[in-house]
Amino acid sequence: MRSSDSQLSPRLLVETRPADHIDDLLEYADPREPLVWLRRGEGFVAVGGFAPVAVIHIPGGGSDRAARMASAWRELSANAAVDDTVQLPGTGLVAFAALAFDDRSASSSILFVPSVIVGQRGGRSWITRISRAEHELPIVPTKPLGYGPHWSATVGPGALDPSGYQQAVRGGLDAIASGEVSKVVLARDLVGTIPVGADLRRLARALSTGYPDCWTFAVDGLIGASPETLVTVSKGTVTARVLAGTTPRGADADADAEASAALATSPKDQDEHLFAVQSVLKSLRPHTRSLAASEQPFTLRLPNLWHLATDVEGELSEDASGLDLVAVLHPTAAVAGTPTNVALEVIRRLEPFDRGRYAGPVGWIDGDGDGEWAIALRCAQFEPEPVAGASGALDRLPVTAHAGAGIVAGSDPESELIETRVKFRPIVDALA
């Protein structure tokens, strides 16, 4: 069922029980419409073959989309009866969600409550079953779903090709030079197709294997592996990891060490990072009684690049859910710019496309409002309606990927283009 947030208030029954060890959670996910949240081999997936119990669907953008989703979720979870004998993050009543990046986006924001979830954390595995009160709890499947055949995508430049992107960067530098913004994050797109019927779990598996320290996610056709935590909430503690400032990995150990050191001492990247950290701290302070961030960023190593990173931690001063904090945090300077509202206008002016859910919030929330939220980066959006392939038959599904870079004073258009190529690598390699 897919309904608007204002229409959704069924009474739910939830049961979580321990389960035997699960070798590969992804084998239980739906091949065509996977719902996935994984990191370092831990997390959970919605079991394929079962319709969602409930869906909160908010069409288009809207500045209040996260707040509306938070309100609808609070009503839904308050009306649930939960029997959870496992009591781990991700057990009990859980929903997957992805939200549009821009207030003016045509893309919807959506939250799914699955019927059956399998998960594992800390060496323990579980099964959660969810139903409406008028229905029996679903029967738990006993066998995983085997992977379908290998497939690959064909992708190429979209609305903003490499030359166009460099021109957009020059436009961003003009906006900085005129004092309009201090920083603006500009993205470009790749578009292509995949075969109808492709097993999308293969993409999630390639990303989770290649980038185990990232959040591998799949929600409503949005699939990726993000290195950036937007916010986590757990029993009154709030944490975030801010990433801004990037350089490619070196070709050997010496070159790699030099790349990391150069990033750590780069005034341009330090400035870009500071804008992003200040954006998060400013948004979280009104909702916390204590909030701390490291004085200096550290370099975070990923398989293909280095990031400047800062971890933030605090204690909530109010009964705020993860979605409530998503509403006040998004968009951060790391994905939009500074000042944020003005940067968004510059993005709309210079990017000839709707970002959709790229760089928007993606994650999960439980019945207590706790959960984990990432920024949807290193990802691609797969559309459900087929298009004509080379044969003329409707046998392909459209796919769009985005990657961006933060533009500040001193940015070089060619260097920023190279940065987007590095950031495209995880999803492009996984699609090959």
Active site positions, annotated: 183, 228
Rounded Cα distance between 220 and 206, Å, is 18
Pairing of strands 54-58, 3-4: parallel
- What is the number of other CB atoms lying within 10 angstroms of the CB of residue 271? 17
Per DSSP, helices labelled H in 300-374 are 322-329, 340-350
Helix (H, G, I), strand (E, B) or coil at 206: helix
Rounded Cα distance between 91 and 15, Å, is 9
Helix 162-177 vs helix 413-431: angle between axes, to the nearest 10 degrees?
140
For residue 230, give the nearest of 293, 269, 284, 308 by alpha carbon.
Answer: 284
- By the 8 A CB rule, do 358 and 379 touch? yes
Strand runs labelled E in 47-182: 54-58, 80-84, 94-98, 109-113, 116-121, 124-132, 154-157
Identify the DSSP state of 365.
Answer: E
The four Cα atoms 359, 100, 310, 413 give a dihedral, to 10 degrees, of 30
Exposure class string for 18-43: b at 16+ Cβ within 10 A, else e? ebeebeebbbbbbbbbbbbbbbeebb
Residue 156 β-bridge partners: 191
Rounded Cα distance between 46 and 36, Å, is 7
